[in-house]
Amino acid sequence: MKEIKIYDSTLRDGAQAQGISFTVEDKLKITEAVDRLGISYIEAGNPGSNPKDLEFFQRVKKLKLKNVKVVAFGSTRRTNIKVEDDANVKSLLTADTEAVAIFGKSWDFHVYEVLRTTLDENLRMIYDTVEFFTKLGKEVIFDAEHFFDGYKANPEYAMKTIYTAIEAGASTVCLCDTNGGTFPNEISEITSYVVKNVRVPVGIHCHNDNGMAVANSILAVQAGATQVQGTINGIGERCGNANLCTIIPNLQIKANYKCIPDECMKSLTSIARYISEIANVIHNEKDPYVGGSAFAHKGGMHIDAVFKNPISFEHINPELVGNKRVILMSEVAGRSTILKKIHEVDPTIGKDSPEAKKIIDRLKELEHEGYQYEGAESSFELVIRKILGKYQPFFNLNQFKVIVGEPTIGEFNSSAMIKIRVGDQVEITAAEGCGPVNALDNALRKALERFYPEIKQMKLTDYKVRVLDSEAATAAKVRVLIESTDGKDMWTTIGVSTDIIEASWKALVDSVEYKLIKDKNGNNNIKNHVNENAENKH
C-alpha cells in the first residue's frame, strides 16, 4: 500500500472561488476540520498580503493539531531584486511555519508575457527564493505553475524550472495544471516522465476547467506522484480545484493507496458538509461520496435491485464514507416504494386498491404544483393520512395577520396576530419576530402551547427557500422546506405558494401536526427515509 500525502488548499486556492470569503474564525475552524480528517498539509495564504492571514498564522499556533502541517504560500521573488529585499518573501517569514510553498513560472509564455523578464532571470528567481527558505531550515514545496502547458510548449525549459528548484533544496516539486485544460493522457505521460527524472517526491495540482481534475489527479498518482493537492468539495477559482473528497476515497477505498488514517474515512461526509456550511456555499448534493444524492435511488427498477442487493447499484457501501442510502419518494419511484410508505400508515392497503391509486394521482398532481416530497417525507405522510381518513386536524386556523413595518419600532420589525380554534375553544394571540415568518412561527407555537405542551420540545433547525420560476421575479412561486427536531427525531416538511408567507405557513403547520401525530402514536409511524431493509452486503 503506497502512501500519498494529501495537501489541502481550501484556505488559499479555495478562497479564490466566486462567492467565498473566509473570516479568521472560519479559517481556524477549517484547519481543525482538515486535521480531524487526517490530512497531511494545509496551505493557508500569505501573511503579508492580508492582515487577516497574519492573525490566522498567529492564532493557528495555539491549536493542538494532530495530523496537519500548516504551510504558508507565496511566489518567487520579484524580477531584478535581491531575495532578501523582497517584501513578499520577507512577509512569508512572519507566518513562522515549518513548511512553505513557493510558486514559480514553468511556462515560458508566462515568463515573457506576464513577468516580462528573461527565461534566465526566472530560473534565478526560483533558485534564490527556494534557497533562501531552505537555508532557514524550512521544508520547501515548489509549485511549478502551469507546468503542463509549459511542458507542452517548451519541455526543456519546464524541466529546467523544476531541476533548478530541486538544486536549490526543494523537498517536493508539485506539477500544476493551473488553467485546468490538460487531458488525462497528457497528465499520465508528462508526470511519468518527471517522476523518472527527478529524485524528490512529485506532487500534482489540478483544476477542473475540463471537468477532469479528479481523473487527472488519479492518473498522476498512478504515474508516480505521491503528493495530491486539492480542496475540500473542490472549491476554487473558476471551475474549482481537484476535489479531495472524491480523490481520497477513490484512492483509499477503491485503489491500493493510503491517504488518511482509516478511522477518519467515516467522517468524510460530515466534514465535507461542515466545510460547505462554514464556506456558506450550497453543498453539492450530486458530489461523489459526500453528496446527499450520491447513494439516492429513484427509478423503480433500481430501487427493487438495491433491495435485493445494494452492490447492484452502489459502487461502494455508503457507510464507509459516513454517508447513507436514500430511497426517494416520487412519481417515478414506482408503486412499490410509494406502497411501502402507505403501509407505514396503514398496512392493509392493497397495491391496486382505489386508495393507492388516489394517493399516487395526488402525488403526481402535487409534484406538478411544485411540491417535491423527496426531501419532505413527513409532509407526504400527512398527504397519505388525509386521503386515508387517518387524519384529524389538531387545530383550525380562523385567521392570521402579519405586519411588517419600516422603520422598526423596538427590537423587531414584524409582528403576527393569530386566531385558532381547538375543539370548541378559541385562542387569539400575537408574537413578534425577525421578519414575518419568524413572527408567524412564534405566534403559532404560542397559541398552541396551552393545548399541546409537547410543542415546547420542538424547534426549527433549518429553513430553506427555493424560488421555482424566478423569471416571474417578486411574484414567483417559492418552495419552503422546514426541518424540525424535538431532540429525539428530525423531520422535514414542505410548503409551496407564490407567497413566501403562505408557503412557510403550510410547512409550519405540517411540522407541528407531524410532531403531534408522532407523539400521539407513540412514534410508531415514524420511519427514517433511509431504508433499513436493504442489508449492506458490500
Q: For its own copies, give the closer residue by CB, 2 or 135.
A: 2
CA angle 520, 345, 357 (to 5 degrees): 145
User: Mask of contacts with its own copies, 251-280, x by CB under 8 A?
Assistant: ---xx---------------------x--x
Asked whether the beta carbons of 253 and 316 are under 8 A apart, the reply is yes
Candidate list 199, 368, 423, 532; residue touching its own copies; CB under 8 A: 368
C-alpha R_g of the chain:
29
Task: Confirm if 77 and 47 have CB atoms less than 8 A apart.
Answer: no
Residues in CB range of 284: below 8 A, 6 or more apart: 233, 276, 291
Residue 199 or 282 having the CB closest to its own copies: 282
Stretch that binds its own copies, among 34-42, 129-137, 470-478, 519-527 (CB under 8 A): 470-478
Which C-beta is closer to its own copies: that of 372 or that of 379?
Answer: 372
Residue for cell digits 491549536?
A: 63
401 binds its own copies (CB under 8 A): yes
Q: Where in 218-247 is the site for its own copies (CB under 8 A)?
A: 218-219, 222, 234, 237-240, 243, 246-247
Site string for its own copies, 326-345 (x = CB under 8 A): --x-xxx-------------
Binding mask 74-113 for its own copies (x = CB under 8 A): -x---------------------------------xx--x
Q: 342-364 b/e with 16+ CB inside 10 Å = b?
A: beebeeebeeeeebbeebbeebe
Min separation Cβ 98 and its own copies, Å: 25
Give the helix/strand (H/E) hosting 20.
none
| Residue of 74, 104, 169, 433 that binds its own copies (CB under 8 A) | 433
Closest Cα partner for 229 from 190, 265, 272, 259? 259
Within 165-194, the residues that bind its own copies by CB under 8 A are 178-181, 183-185
When the beta carbons of 50 and 197 are compared against its own copies, the nearer one is 50
**Binding string, residues 116-155; x marks residues near its own copies by CB under 8 A:** ----------------------------------------
Query: Least distance to its own copies from the beta carbon of 465, Å?
Result: 5
Closest CB to its own copies among residues 139, 208: 208
Q: How far apart are CA 514 and CA 525, in angstroms?
A: 10
What does DSSP assign to residue 21?
A: -
Q: Burial level of 415, CB count in 10 A (0-12/13-18/19+)?
A: buried
Q: Using CB under 8 A, count the residues that bind its own copies.
A: 125
The footprint of its own copies on residues 290-319 (CB under 8 A) is 291-299, 301-302, 304-305, 308-309, 311-316
User: Which grid cell is 113?
Assistant: 508575457
Residue 76 or 169: which CB sits closer to its own copies? 76
Which residues between 196 and 215 bind its own copies (CB under 8 A)? 208-212, 214-215
At closest approach, how far in Å is the CB of 521 from its own copies? Answer: 25
Which amino acid, 197? N
- Burial zone of 195 (CB within 10 Å; 0-12 exposed, 13-18 middle, 19+ buried): middle
Cβ atoms of 31 and 43 within 8 Å: the answer is: no
CB 431, min distance to its own copies, A: 12
Q: Which CB atom, from 169 or from 236, has the smaller least distance to its own copies?
A: 236
CB nearer its own copies, residue 63 or residue 472: 472
Residues 6+ apart with CB under 8 A from 25: none
Q: Are the beta carbons of 489 and 523 closer than 8 angstroms?
A: yes
Q: What are the residues whose beta carbons fall under 8 Å from the beta carbon of 35, sequence distance 6 or more?
A: 42, 63, 65, 66, 67, 68
Q: Please choose, out of 161-169, 377-385, 424-432, 473-481, the segment that lies near its own copies by the rule CB under 8 A.
A: 473-481
Q: Rounded CA gap, 317 and 266, in Å?
A: 11
Return the residues of window 378-397 that contact its own copies according to CB under 8 A.
397
Chosen residue from 388, 390, 468, 489 binding its own copies by CB under 8 A? 468
Per CB under 8 A, the segment of 161-169, 248-256, 263-271, 352-360 that binds its own copies is 248-256
Q: How far is the CB of 115 from its own copies (least distance, A)?
A: 9
Sequence-separated (6 or more) residues with CB below 8 Å from residue 320: 249, 253, 265, 266, 538
Contacts with its own copies in 434-453 (CB under 8 A)?
Answer: 434-438, 441
In 10 A of CB 172, how many CB atoms? 24
Q: Closest approach of Cβ 524 to its own copies, in Å?
A: 27
Instruction: Pick one of 474, 522, 532, 533: the residue that binds its own copies (CB under 8 A).
Output: 474
Is the Cβ–Cβ distance between 337 and 329 less than 8 Å?
Answer: yes
Min dist. Cβ of residue 177 to its own copies (A): 9
**3-state secondary structure string across 226-272:** CEEEEEHHHCCCCCCECEHHHHHHHHHHHCCEECCCHHHHHHHHHHH
Tell me how far, at minimum, the Cβ of 525 lies from its own copies, in Å. Answer: 24
